[in-house]
Amino acid sequence: MCDFDSDSIIDDIIRKGQKIADEVEVVYGTGKFIHASLKGDEIGEAGGSESWVFGIRIIDGGRIGSSTTNNPLKWEECLDAAKAGSKFADAQEWGGLPDASGTTGTPESRFDENLVLDSAYLTANIKELLNGASEYNVDVAGGGASASSSFYKLTNSNGLVYESVRTRTGASLETISGTSTGYESDSSCFADRIDPYDIGKKAAYLAAHSVDAGEIDSGSYDVILSPIAAAQLIGGIVVPALSGKNVKAGRSYFAGKLGEKWLDGSFSLRDDPFHGQGSKARDAEGVPARVLDLIKDGVVNTFCYDLKTAYKYGEQSTGSAVRSDGSPSIGFHNLYFEGDRQVIFDEKALYIHDVIGAHTANGITGDFSVETSNATWREGGNDGDAVRAAMLSGNIFEMLKSIAGVSKESRELGNVIMPSVRFNNIRVVGK
């Protein structure tokens, strides 16, 4: 029911926009999405949507304005709003939008032509979730399955046109046994890369294993953060500190630390735009994306810049622009955490599957204090007694100065690829 000509509207926006501004950029996104949701162990709702959005950005005399609309009939109003916004923005140094010149690599495909967006696919996945969960004596509280396909087109007045397509599928399950809960999920661009049965089984195991969990005394312990727990703390604190905008504005822990070895010598953090669910040849402003060694062997190697921040502070864009709500911002494409790969599950440690409250950490200093979820003692590669409740406190930057090791396998969590990470002598508060 998408009955408008998006190419014609984009052309009109560029043409009219060039009459009122130096440069114009149009982002058009459209997609289809279907889902089915479990309420308890039955499908309670199923639905779908077809959506689209036009995002317009203009640059006029170094003043930037932007606007979005999901009503194609309102593109002129949207363009006027972008122009109006630009009048209030302070002028900044501006070196131009990118042209169509070459990219630096070839991204892997994110489109599964075999993924069919119909309800039968979702109900089959949900059946497998429930089959997997039946391996343990737990109740299913919720969950579901989803699938989507999307098209993205970036056009600017310098002649750049960049298009990409993507599919995505996901499944999740929430379980409970008494007051012990478990949750697992997975997503991929390809249908054959998620295993709903395994997701259901793992969610059920988490709830089952934590029944009759014991207490832990307050003290310092060797701790292993699962990929989920590590991604929450590192993604929420360390990644924003690598944003060039935060560094230049004086609100990053890494400000003034470029080129210096501040972290564990085994630790590297890499953004690879060509391999993973966030793969793309160009960033959200059309700048060719490239591999960035953000932290290399413990050394803060580079910060991330989009065009606006780079021009403002005399830097080069690193092709790190991403878009979530229309206007570009600084982000990453596929984030890889690397460390000293070894067997980290042999010596006894507290293994923390997930944490509650990672978003409440101090993003400036790195101090955090979170509640653990599905924590368990682990030794000799096997789970021991579960721990009912414990609060984990520390400073993530200090912890990353001394990493005891990372697991040999990494887990793909969307566009974050993370191993389990072991730290020694971490403060734990028991109940």
Q: Which of residues 211-250 bind other proteins (CB under 8 A)?
A: 218, 249-250
Q: Name the one range near other proteins by CB under 8 A: 14-22, 175-183, 223-231, 273-281.
A: 175-183
Give the span between the Cα atoms of 86 and 94, in whole angstroms: 13
Q: Which of residues 99-158 bind other proteins (CB under 8 A)?
A: 119-120, 122-123, 139, 141-142
Buried b (16+ CB within 10 A) or exposed e, 4-30: eebeebbeebbeebeeebbbbbbbbbb
- Binds other proteins (CB under 8 A): choice among 11, 15, 84, 99: 84
Q: Which CB atom, from 150 or from 407, has the smaller least distance to other proteins?
A: 150
- Please list, in sequence order, all residues whose beta carbon lies within 8 angstroms of the beta carbon of residue 31, skipping any fewer than 6 positions away: 50, 51, 52, 148, 149, 150, 151
For residues 202 and 165, the answer to whether their CB atoms sit within 8 Å is no
Give min distance, CB of 4 to other proteins, in A.
9
- Binds other proteins (CB under 8 A): choice among 85, 105, 236, 384: 85
Q: Which CB atom, from 204 or from 392, has the smaller least distance to other proteins?
A: 392
Size of the site for other proteins (CB under 8 A): 82
- Please list, in sequence order, all residues whose beta carbon lies within 8 angstroms of the beta carbon of residue 122, skipping any fewer than 6 positions away: 34, 35, 36, 46, 144, 145, 146, 147
Q: Which CB atom, from 86 or from 226, has the smaller least distance to other proteins?
A: 86
Q: Which CB atom, from 72 or from 339, has the smaller least distance to other proteins?
A: 72
Q: Which of residues 291-350 bind other proteins (CB under 8 A)?
A: 326-327
β-sheet bridge partners, residue 149: 32, 167
Q: Which of residues 377-406 bind other proteins (CB under 8 A)?
A: 389, 391-395
Give min distance, CB of 115 to other proteins, in A.
18
β-pair type (391-395, 349-356): unpaired
Q: Which of residues 184-213 bind other proteins (CB under 8 A)?
A: none
Give the span between the Cα atoms of 333 and 4, in whole angstroms: 31
Give the span between the Cα atoms of 393 and 368, in whole angstroms: 6
Q: How many CA atoms lie within 13 A of 392 on its CB side?
A: 33
Q: Which of residues 36-75 bind other proteins (CB under 8 A)?
A: 36, 39-40, 42-52, 64-74
- Binds other proteins (CB under 8 A): choice among 364, 377, 384, 412: 364
Amino acid at 89: A
Element (H, E) at 268: strand 268-271
Q: Which of residues 249-288 bind other proteins (CB under 8 A)?
A: 249-251, 253, 256
Q: Which CB atom, from 240 or from 273, has the smaller least distance to other proteins?
A: 240
Q: Which of residues 406-425 bind other proteins (CB under 8 A)?
A: none
89 near other proteins, rule: CB under 8 A: yes
Q: What is the DSSP letter of 84?
A: H
Give min distance, CB of 295 to other proteins, in A.
19
